[in-house]
Structure 1
Amino acid sequence: MKKVLIIVPAYNEERNITSLINEITDYKKNEGGIEIDLLVINDCSSDSTSLHCREEGVKVIDLPCNLGIGGAVQTGYKYAKSNNYDIAVQIDGDGQHDPSYIKVLIEPIILNEADLVIGSRYIEYKGFQSTVLRRMGIRFFTSLILLLGRKKVTDATSGFRACSWELINKFAEIYPKDYPEPESIMSCLRGGFRVKEVPVIMRERKEGVSSINIHRSIYYMFKVSLAIIIDWLRKDSLKQGA
């Protein structure tokens, strides 16, 4: 039986986390043949995110300082590696990712068709399509990854993804820190890992406000683009078997 760990990085998501936990719990009840566990990485929230998780009986790792999305997610991968999980699934804590698509994400890994599976809203163009500014950034990263990695990835900033046991081990050791999604894709492609996208429907954030504003977006574009190019120039990257 495959062991699957759902990793939920969360920062000040007290208004979203309980409903997400309930959705994941409902999914687990209806999914047979797979052992599914849930882990919330509380990225030093200043609200009651951790308390709400514990009230729901969910395993929580409380980080002593704010590490950002990359550090929070890598904490989850380290836990997955230490506890011998076969597959790790990343779901954002803001409610935009629908847990009913978990099966769609993990199936290509179970069938040995992919090492990294990304949930993309830009295959069927259904549901929430994000802001205009973010869509422009996604198109740019799609072009950059296609140019350097020779792979078309339509939703490079999607944090709704699943990875295999081998990638769990790699990500536990090496994972980008800030805005890691596009950079980690490039690392996988450079390392010879199989990357696949599957269509999903995403939702608009239920509560709260995204931390990425126009100024952060400019910084995001510059930093991630530079990181992707540097990764492309590296010789080691995330080589399989390294």
Structure 2
Amino acid sequence: MIAPRGIAVVIPSYRVSSQLLPLIEQIGPEVEWIFVIDDACPEQSGEQVKQRCTDPRVQVVTHECNGGVGAAVLTGYRHALTTEAAVIVKLDGDGQMDPALLRRFASPLLAGQADYAKGNRFHRIGFVRGMPWLRLAGNAALSFMTKLSSGYWQIADPTNGYTAIRRELVQELDMERIATRYFFESDLLFHLNQARAVVVDVPMRARYADENSSLRPLQMIGPFMLGHLRNTLRRVGYGYLLRGFSVASVELLLGALLLPAGAVFGACQWWLSVETGVPATAGTVMAAALPVIIGTQMLLSWLNFDVASEPRQPVHMLLAGVQQHRSNTGADA
């Protein structure tokens, strides 16, 4: 089994040919391998890198068909696993991510303090200056949905693509089940939570220049909402009903039953009072209010438990031992 060391960088490339070469030139000597993934770029950015880049660390991989940013990153992960890289950092090719921050992202992973690091452009008020208002509003809304669907309540800026991951977690991921387009970063967080990985935010300042984004926010609202709803149901159902049944599971089930039942009963009784002109009795009001109050309290108690259950202990060392055992067992066989 390869002894992990060093840092590899993965750069998905699609319509960023003018920014790609300057970005590569800024990557410092702390990085030993650079993988440029040409995701069927119509500008043939990968070919331009092959012809004009003399950096021996750079390898270009070309997709015959466009698979999306997630597919490009996963391809880069697979190639990085063939090296001795302990940490794999993903940089977008559009120049928004400062390569000077690479050490900041890799350090907590190399020090064994975390399994995955991601950028946070909202760490300080001053960081958001210059950020387009549409992205600012969209990220604020997506943050809460991602917290609920992933279980990482202490993170922000979930769609930030400046990330670093331990190789052990990459080996553990079921890559075929991870979203390959714009939902990639959010879906990856869900899968990392299933592996109980420790995720940390890394403060960074956003950089916006003349790059063009192919993201259409209004077209993405529906798919993002459905993706978060699916992951929330999967995480809650598996985590509280199958993997670990606890008092929090009972609170969740009763709260999810009592709150809507009381609300529906109260609404029906209110409508009946309007239609008949007969005020509801105190008993009827209490019969509607109590399930709502108790259900709300139970859901809040479950939410408090869920927030406190965020992974705290890095798992990559444990996974490394498991993967070493699998390798040895396979070799013995």
The match for 2:89 is 89
- Aligned-partner Cα distance in 1 for 2:66–2:129: 28
Bigger relative contact order, structure 1 or 2, given CA contacts below 8 A and separation 6+? 1
Say yes or no: does 1:185 pair with 2:182: no
Q: Secondary structure at the match of 1:75?
A: helix
* Cα displacement (A) at 1:187: 1.9
Where does 1:1-242 land on structure 2 (aligned, <5 Å)?
A: 2-24=5-27, 27-28=28-29, 31=30, 36-54=32-50, 55-57=52-54, 58-125=58-125, 126=127, 130-148=131-149, 149-171=151-173, 173-174=175-176, 175-179=178-182, 180-207=184-211, 209-233=212-236, 235=238
Structure 1 ranges of 4+ moved more than 6 A: none
TM-score w.r.t. length of structure 1: 0.86
Identity across aligned pairs (percent)? 24
- Aligned-partner Cα distance in 1 for 2:159–2:230: 14
Q: Aligned letter for 1:81? A: L
- Aligned-partner Cα distance in 1 for 2:148–2:95: 32
Q: Secondary structure at the match of 2:18?
A: coil
- Aligned-partner Cα distance in 1 for 2:43–2:163: 26
* Cα deviation 1:32-88 (Å, max 9, x = unaligned): xxx521110000011131122112033100111101011111001111123342110
* Cα deviation 1:163-214 (Å, max 9, x = unaligned): 012112134734321221112112212321000001012211443x211124
Relative distance call for 1:173 and 1:183 in structure 2 (3 A) is closer
* Cα displacement (A) at 1:154: 0.9
Larger helix percent: 2
* Cα deviation 1:88-119 (Å, max 9, x = unaligned): 00000110000000000000001111100011
Q: Secondary structure at the match of 1:59?
A: strand
Unaligned runs of 5+ in 1: none
Q: Aligned letter for 1:201? A: R
Q: Aligned letter for 1:75? A: T
Q: Aligned letter for 1:135? A: L
* Cα deviation 1:6-36 (Å, max 9, x = unaligned): 0000102111111111111xx22xx4xxx52
Q: Give me the CA root mean square deviation.
A: 2.5
Q: Secondary structure at the match of 1:19?
A: helix
* Cα displacement (A) at 1:158: 0.5
- Aligned-partner Cα distance in 2 for 1:231–1:49: 38
- Aligned-partner Cα distance in 1 for 2:145–2:77: 27
Relative distance call for 1:137 and 1:203 in structure 2 (3 A) is same
Q: Secondary structure at the match of 1:60?
A: strand
Whether contact under 8 Å (1:97, 1:160) holds in the other structure is: yes
Whether contact under 8 Å (1:105, 1:162) holds in the other structure is: yes
Relative distance call for 1:161 and 1:194 in structure 2 (3 A) is same
Q: Aligned letter for 1:70? A: G
Relative distance call for 1:181 and 1:150 in structure 2 (3 A) is closer
- Aligned-partner Cα distance in 2 for 1:50–1:74: 17
Relative distance call for 1:210 and 1:137 in structure 2 (3 A) is same
Q: Secondary structure at the match of 1:15?
A: helix
Q: Aligned letter for 1:23? A: Q
Whether contact under 8 Å (1:109, 1:117) holds in the other structure is: yes
Whether contact under 8 Å (2:146, 2:228) holds in the other structure is: no
Q: Secondary structure at the match of 1:74?
A: helix
Larger strand percent: 1
The higher radius of gyration belongs to 2
The match for 2:302 is none
Whether contact under 8 Å (1:116, 1:161) holds in the other structure is: yes
Whether contact under 8 Å (1:4, 1:88) holds in the other structure is: yes
